[in-house]
Structure formats: structure tokens, C-alpha cells
Structure 1
Amino acid sequence: MGLITGWQERRAVRREAERVSALREEALRLQVQGRMQEAEAGLREVVAVRTRLRGGDDPGVLLARSDLAMLLLVLGRVEEADAEADECLEGCRRSLGEAHDVTGKAAVARARVLLAQGRHRHSEEEAAKVMAARGDRPSDLTYLSARGAHAHALGNQGRHAEAVEEFAALSRAWYKMGRAGQPLVVKARSDRAQHLIYLGRYEAAEAECRALTELAGPKGVNRPRARLAAGIGLVVALAHLDRFEEGEAVAREAIAQAPAELDGHFHAVLRLGLARCLNGQGRWQEALETASTAQADLRESPPGRQSYLPAAGIPMGTALIGLGRSMEAVSLLRESVELCGSLLAPSHHRTLEAELVLGTALAARGSRAEAVETLIANHAAWSEHFGEAHPKTLAATRELAAARESTSTGGGPRVNGPGEDGL
């Protein structure tokens, strides 16, 4: 009798384990469909049931906790995601070891959370551990996910040249995965194009983004989100090439064609590109209104997706300078520089660009000594991290010379915004 009862109990446990395994798959499908609350409830049930059946260090429990951490991150609940990912990874390393598949997934989740928190150096280190543990499997999905996090961590630290190389390698690896990897090829190439812009390689970025808009279009992999991301890169590249009217036309077409179901983040970043193009044409008020709308949308982004928020201050500050409202520009740009410092590295292109426009705003306001001090430090940073020939280094040279001339002659504040220089 005892043998029969034991067998029945084992069978019941096995069936319950099979049920929660199916429940995990269903939860992941619900997440893809945007049914986040149902997905979260499903994953939490998986964790609870499997923990009761097999203990907290069971691989199935830890895998579901890793999934849950990523879901919480998507929902913008970064602190909860951090706690979940940290405990999950600790359990994986304690019970499964560094080379286990679930440990790799948990470490990637942890690296993504660290990115969202602005802890980019720690994210790089976590992703590198996964890559080292799985280096003999370069086509492994977990390895490639870790490499993506690694590339983003490099870029957010202002190491744009390294990021370009890493995203190029990542796109080649996804290409080898065949048709299933094509959307991720587009994503990696689009990310690479962004860093080409940061490096001042505007023509190369333009060519890449034009190719990607076709590849991601209806005749290619048909990924509207990826196509819009490539369109954003194209608009910004054209603005940096001083082809402002062309950039405006591309931006307005992309806004008109963007699917309504895409989240506001993409629309907001596209409007920032449009604002750059409007500034370049001296249409300050339109640029200010466009960038202000984008900023309002970006403020609504969940924590972890706000790295573009300080970027709004750049076209807004430029427009305010052009409108003669330099006092407002200085206040806004100080906030942008401070926000950049909390989200990105001091040497990141976005941080330095915000500082450059701040120096221009200070000169326009008549705070000449502070403007010179700010622009000297800014010029030195551009030179050190991007080189003397980088377009922004040259722009910083011009702004510094203008501020020094204003200081020596006691001239009035500038009335033109730095958008004239394509900033």
C-alpha cells in the first residue's frame, strides 16, 4: 500500500511540475502579447509551486525568477527587478555553477537591470562573465544576449568606438542564425549606426541607416520598430551633415508612417531629431515646441528607459538661445548635464554635447567667465575622448574662441543659437 501511495505522490508531483512548465511558457506568450499583469501572475505562480515541490534552488524556480526579473524591468519596476535578479543570480551561482544555462540567463537579466540603473561598469562586468563562461558557444542565444548587454554597457560609458566594433560583431553573429536572426541583425546594426554618429562618422551612419530602413521595411523583415529606429538615426545623421531640410522631410514622413501601437518613446526620440533640423533652419519656436513635446513624453517613460531624457535639453536649449531666452536655456541645460551624469558617463557624447550647449548659453547670458571655464573643460574632454578632428571638438573650439573674444571685448550676449553649427 505504501509503495502505491509513494508512486501516486511522485506521479502527482511530476504532473504538477509539467503543469507549471506549461504555465511558464504561457506567461512568456502573454508578455509578448502585452498582457503584463497576467504574465507576472503566471510567473509568480510558477515560482511558488516549483519552490514548494522542489525547493528554492531548483533550476526551474531560478529560471522563472530570471524571467520575472526581466518582466519587472520592462514594467519599469527597476528596484523590484534588481532585488529579484540579484537573489536569482546568487542562487544560480550557489547551486548550479557559472557555466549552467540558467545561470547565464540570470546573469544577462542582472546585466540588463544594472544598465537600467546606470551602473554600466558593473553591467559590463556581469555580461563579460557570461561571455567568458560560454565562449566556446558563440552562437548560443544566451551568449549573444550577454554580448548585446555588453555592447550597450560600453556605449553608455562613452566607449563608442568599442561599441561600434561590438555591435558589428553581434550583427554578424545574428546573421549566421539565419532568417530567425534577421530582426536582431537590424537591431544591432541600428545600434551601431548611433555610435557611428557619436564618432562623427556621419556619412557612414547615413548610408547604414538608409540600408536599414529598406531591410526593416515591408519588403525585408518588416519590423516597424526597427525601421523607425533606423529612421531616427538617419534624421540625426542628416542634421549633423547640415542637411536640415532633408532631415526634416525624413522625420515628418517617419512620424506620419509610424504605427500608432508603438510606444511613445520612439515617437519622442524621433521628434528630438526633427527639432535639431528645425533649429538648423533657425525655426526656433517650432523646434522648442517639438522638443518640449518630446521631453514631456520621455518624462513618462518608465525608469530604465530614460537615458534619452537629458537629450531633450540639447535642442530645447539651442532653441531658447536662438529666441534670446538664454536665462531659461542655462537653467534647462544645467538640469540636462546633471541628468546625463546620473544616467551616462562623463565622456559620453550626449553628456559632452549638453555641456557644450550650456557653455554657449552661458556666453549668451553674459556669464562670460563661467562660459570660458565651462568651454575650456568641454573642449579638453572632446579632444581627449574623440580627437582633435572630431566635428564636436571643432565646434567647441569655435564656441570657446567666441566666448573668449566676448570676454576680452566686453561685447553683448550672442543672439544666435549653436544650432547654426549643427549642434
Structure 2
Amino acid sequence: MLLIFLAAGSVVAADHFRRQAHKAQALVQAREMAVRAKQVGFEREREAHSKARELKQQAQHDANRAETLTRFLISDMIHDLWPGRRRGRPLTVRSVLDHTAARVSHVFADQPRTAASIHLSLGESYNVIGLHTRAIDQLTIAVNRRRETLGPDDPDTLVATSLLATAIGNQGRYAQALQLHQAAFEGLHENCSAQERQVLMAQHNLALCLLRMGRHAESLEHFQRILVDRVRTHGHEHSDTLKAANNLALCLKGLGRTDEALTISHKTLALRRKTLGEDHPDTLSATHNLAQLLSLKQQHAQAQLLYERTLQIKTKTLGPEHPLTLNTLHNLANAHYRQGQFEKSRQLNEQVLAIRRRVLDTNHPSTLKTQGNLGRTLLKLRRLPEAEAQLRSTWQLQKSVRGAEHADTVLTQHALARCLSANGQPAEASELLVGVLAARRRRFGDRHPSTLWTLRNLVTSLIRQGKWQEARSPAEESVRLHREVYSDDSHQLASSLVEHGRILMHTDQRSQAMSHLREAIDIDRRKPAKCCSLRSTAESLLAQSANPDGPAT
């Protein structure tokens, strides 16, 4: 019994000790939790104090920045620009920008991020007024400062890089600009901290660079995506949406899709007039682009009116030598050219060329474009030696600056070929035309008016060399394509029929030649505006065809 009692007591005691141990363990855990809670509380308190100090420091930094900016604007800028301190120097936008640019680095030496933002704003402002070299200087400083303070991959650094690329592109240095545009867009696109507006801005600038380089298909893909995103985020009437639509129309124009471009251009201009007013720069840009498209649709008088109105406003608001003003004056010269007013076109082209050589550069793409237009105008005025010199020089420079396949280069090559043909050098002309035809087939396809025009010119050049057999195949293709593309009353079709008829006569196919020539004469009879040279040529050839014993010419 005693053993049983002792055993029972041991069990009870063991159970008691276990309960006490559990209580002690729980007490220890509770104490540990209390200690940890106290430590967490201390850590959170320290974090709160640290955050408060950071906020205080940031607030003090912002206050110092605001004070420095205020002092810079009032004490330095406005005070220095008072009439008495300017000493008779005129107060212009450029003088204000120059004065600011000269003082930023000194005043904000201890605030590099603030200085970078001001340099960025100065660069954008110089760009707007057409001073691209000064814009590049300021934007380069902004990019370098942001790389030093924020790092090369920070969104603000990449935004500044995109703006610098735009300024470089405005100087015509498109290859260099494209590399920077691609780096900025790709960096922002892959950066999760970048805002959507920053990504779209960089993509828009990249697409615009591709457009200016003549890479219309690539540019179109970008602008189509940009337009969808702009409509989603801003709606159809926002200025950024309309800017994307305006540039989309230019891409379509470059691809020869003129009707699609016209539809978008009309809509864009109407919305810009509604939301911005008639004289807003974006409205003027849309008006300018619509005029270009109307000119492509042979509505030259209407295009001229739009150019003249746009030129008047741009001259008043931007000045007569601003790049955008010169763009409109350049296209006004084209409008006069297309209406047969060649002397007026020559005068305007010479005016634009002189200013562009001085303001932009001798080798700037816009300068070369005007030089090419002047050469074409001199060709129309039959000033052939001058025309050949201008066109040959322009073509060589454009091949170097723009590339052999660029639309501007090909257009000048075509004009040079026509000049050589008119000046009794048909062999070299034919060689150039073969290259133009191949380039335009690649860009536009076989049925585009520019391709068909080149094909007709090649046939004419081969005829002038007496290469009747070689001319036969392109002449047959020309007639076939003109029948498919143009109406039965088309002057272009009549011209291709006359040339093919001439070839058929020389290859002893007089019956078919007479059929072609009669059809060409009938087309000319039906047209309100007669082409005397075409009809007289066709009638002369027809008379020869009717006399098998007579010589063919």
C-alpha cells in the first residue's frame, strides 16, 4: 500500500511540476513577446522619427529651391532685364533665354537637379523658336546632370535624352538622333517606374524621327499604337491625340495612301479649329499638312490659299526666318510650280534657299530639298545648264545625307534624268531612270502615279536613243498599267499610247500603231483642256502610219 501511495504521489507531483513548467514557459514566452513588442515599438518610433527628419529635410530642400528660384527670377533675371540695365539692348525671347542660360550653372551650382530642370526647359524653348544648336547645348547639359544625379536609367534622364534626340534631328542629323530615340524609348518602356505619358512621349518622338527619315512603314506602326493609347487615355479631342492623328496622316501620305491621309487630315483640322482656334500653331500645322495632300490630289489653287493664310500667321507669330515659316514658304513655291507659275516659284525657292543655308546649314535636308526644287524650276524655265548643276549637286549631297533610297533623293534623281534627257544626254538619263523606277516600285508598287510617271519617262528616254526593241516591253507595260489605273479620258493614258504607237511604227506594226494613235487623239478631243503638243504629235505619226512608204520618225 505504501508503494502504491508513494507511486500515486509521484504521479501527482510530476503532473504538478509539468503544469508549473508550462506556466513558466508561457510566462517566459509572454515576457519575450513583450520585449519584442517593445523593440518593435522602438523601431517604429525610430522609423517615424527618421521619416519625419527626411520629410523635414525634403521640405527644407524644397523651400531652399523655391527661395533660390524666386531670387533667381526676381533679383537676377527681372532686375537685370530692366530697361536701365539693358542699356538699349532689345528685349526678345532669345535675349531672355540667353541671359538665363548664362547664369543657371553659377546660381544653382549646389542644386544640380534644379539646374538640370532649368537647362531642360531652356533647351525646349530654344527648340520652339528654331535655335536648334543652342537647344542641343542646353539639353546636353540637362542629360549629363541627370545622369550624374539620378543615373542613366532614371525616367527623367531618359525623357531628357528623347528631347535631346529631337533637337539633334531638327539639325538633320537623323541617324544620330535615331540611336538616342531608340535608347530613350526602350529604356522607358522597360522601366516599371516610368509613367505612361513619358513612354508615349518617347515613342512619339521616335516615330517622328522615322517619319523624317522616310521610313514610313515603321513610323506608321508606332503612330497607330500611339493613337490607340491616346484615345484610351485622353479621348478623341485632346491635343496629344490630334498630334498623333496628324502625324499618322503624314505616314499614309508618304506611303502613297493619299485618300486615307486626306480623311484623317480633314478630321484633325476640324477638331483643332474647334478646340484650339484658327491661329494656334497645331492648327496651322494641320492646315499646312492638308494643303500638301490637296496638292497631291491636283487641287493646287485650294492648296495655295491654305499655304498663303498659314504663311501670313506664321510670319507674324514666329518670324520670317523660323524653320516652320520656311516650310510653308517652301511649299507655297511648290504650289506655284504645279500651277505652271515657274518664275514665281523660282523667286520663292531662291528666297527660301538663301535663308535656309544661313539659318540651318548648307547640307541640312530641308536646304537640299529647296535646292532640288529650285533645280526643277530652272528645268521648267529651260535654263538647262543651271538646272543640271543644281540638280547634280543636290543629288550627290542627298545620297550622302539622306541615302540613295530616300524619297527626296529619288525625286532629285528623277529630275536630273529629265534634265539630261532634255539636254541631249539620253543615255545617262536612262541609267538614272532605271534606278528611280526600281526605287519607286519598291516603295509604292507598280500602279502608283509616281511609278507610272517614271515608266513613261524611261520609255521616252529609250526612244530618244533609238532603242526601239528595248523600249517595247516597258512601253507595253506602261499602256497596260495606265488602262488599269487611269480613266479612259486620262492625259497620262494618251501620252503612253502615243509613245507606244511610235515604237510600234518602228517595229513594223503599223496597224496597231494607228489604233493607239487614234485612241490618243480621241482622248484629247474629249478633254476640256487640250494638249496641243500631244495631239499634233499623234496626228503627225498617224499620217506617217497611213503612208507605209514614208519614213517613220
Settle same-fold status: TM greater than 0.5.
yes
Partner of 2:388: 330
| Helix, strand or coil at the partner of 2:276 | coil
Partner of residue 309 from structure 1, selected from 325, 346, 367: 367
The farther-off stretch of 21-30 and 176-185 is 21-30
Structure 1 residues 222-301: aligned runs within 5 Å = 222=277, 224-255=280-311, 260-264=316-320, 265-301=323-359
In the TM superposition, 1:346-357 aligns within 5 A as 346-357=404-415
- When residues 283 and 13 of structure 1 are mapped into structure 2, their CA distance, relative to the original with a 3 A threshold, is closer
State the shift of 1:258 in Å: 5.6
User: What code does the residue aligned with 1:115 have?
Assistant: G
**In structure 1, distance between residues paired with 2:124 and 2:312:** 32
Does 2:60 correspond to 1:17? Answer: no
1:319–1:256 distance in 2 versus 1, CA, 3 Å: same
1:365 to 420, 423, 445: 423
The secondary structure found in structure 2 opposite 1:308 is: helix
Give the distance between the partners of 1:16 and 1:302, measured in 2 at CA.
41
Tell me, in whole angstroms, the C-alpha distance in 2 between the residues paired with 1:362 and 1:282: 21
Q: Deviations over 1:43-99 (max 9, x none)?
A: 443332332x25xxx433333343444455556665565455445434533542233
- Work out whether residues 375 and 390 of structure 2, in 8 Å CA contact, stay in contact via their aligned partners in 1: yes
Structure 1 CA distance for aligned equivalents of residues 251 and 359 of structure 2? 22
Q: How many angstroms apart in 1 are the aligned matches of 2:310 and 2:213?
A: 30
| Conserved 8 A contact 2:214-2:407 | yes
Q: Which residue of 1 aligns with 2:541?
A: none
Q: What is residue 220 of structure 1 aligned with on the other side?
A: 275
Which residue number corresponds to residue 210 of structure 1? 266
Structure 1 contact 40–71 (Cα < 8 Å) conserved: no
| Residue 340 (structure 1) aligned with residue 388 (structure 2) | no
Find the aligned partners of 2:123 and 2:405 in 1 and give their Cα distance. Answer: 30
> Are 1:148 and 2:148 an aligned pair?
no
- CA distance in structure 2 between the partners assigned to 1:304 and 1:110 by the alignment: 22
2:160 counterpart (106, 112, 115): 106
**Compared CA separation, residues 46 and 277, structure 1 to 2 (3 A):** closer
Q: What TM-score do you get using the length of structure 2 for normalisation? A: 0.61
Change (3 A) 1:118 1:389: same
Match of 1:391 in 2: 449
TM-align CA RMSD:
3.9
Q: Output the CA distance in 2 between the equivalents of 1:158 and 1:184.
A: 23
Structure index of larger Rg: 2
Q: 1:167 aligns with which of 215, 223, 238?
A: 223
Counterparts of 1:47-196 in structure 2 under 5 Å?
47-51=105-109, 53-54=110-111, 58-71=112-125, 73=127, 78=132, 81-82=135-136, 85-86=139-140, 88-135=142-189, 136=192, 140-176=196-232, 178=234, 182-196=238-252
How much does 1:338 deviate?
4.0
Aligned length: 396
1:189–1:330 CA distance, 2 compared to 1 (3 A): farther
Quote the Cα distance in structure 2 between the aligned partners of 1:304 and 1:375.
27
Question: Structure 2: which amino acid aligns with 1:153?
Answer: C
Check 1:313–1:139 CA distance in 2 against 1; reply closer, same or farther (3 A cut). Answer: same
In terms of mean alpha carbon deviation, does 193-202 or 12-21 score higher? Answer: 12-21
Task: Give the letter aligned to residue 110 of structure 1.
Answer: L
Aligned AA for 1:228?
Answer: L
Contact kept? 2:119, 2:138, Cα under 8 Å: yes
**C-alpha distance in 1, partners of 2:73/2:208?**
28
- Which amino acid in the other structure matches residue 17 of structure 1? R
Shift of 1:132: 2.5
Q: CA deviation at 1:263?
A: 3.5
Mean Cα deviation higher: 311-320 or 85-94:
85-94
> Does structure 1 retain, via aligned residues, the 8 Å contact 2:391–2:415?
yes
Partner of 2:499: none
When structure 1 is superposed on structure 2, of 268-277 and 70-79 the one drifting more is 70-79
Secondary structure class of the residue paired with 2:116: helix
Relative to structure 1, is the Cα distance of residues 75 and 342 closer, same or farther in structure 2, using a 3 angstrom cutoff? farther
Aligned partners of 2:234 and 2:241 also within 8 Å: no
Structure 2: segments with no counterpart, 5+ residues: 1-57, 82-90, 469-490, 493-553
Q: CA deviation at 1:150?
A: 0.5
Q: Per the alignment, in what secondary structure is the counterpart of residue 238 of structure 2?
A: helix
> TM-score, normalised to structure 1's length?
0.78
Distance between the aligned counterparts of 1:174 and 1:258, measured in 2?
Answer: 28
Report the AA paired with residue 370 of structure 1: E
Instruction: Output the amino acid matched with 2:450.
Output: K
- Judged with a 3 Å threshold, the aligned counterparts in structure 2 of structure 1 residues 325 and 152 are, in CA distance, closer, same or farther, namely same
Aligned mates of 2:71, 2:466 — CA distance in 1: 72
Question: Which residue among 447, 450, 458 is the counterpart of 1:400?
Answer: 458
Provide closer, same or farther for how the CA distance between residues 120 and 227 of structure 1 changes in structure 2, counting only shifts above 3 A: same
Q: Distance in 2 between matches of 1:249 and 1:144?
A: 35
- Describe the SS at the equivalent of 1:134: helix
- Inter-CA distance 151–239: structure 2 relative to 1 (3 Å threshold): same
Amino acid at match of 1:194: L
Whole-Å Cα distance in 2 between the matches of residues 273 and 41 of structure 1? 35
| Per-residue deviation, 1:346 | 3.4
Letter in 2 for 1:93: R
Is the 2:307–2:328 contact (alpha carbons within 8 Å) kept by the matching residues of 1? Answer: yes
Q: Which letter maps to 1:124?
A: L
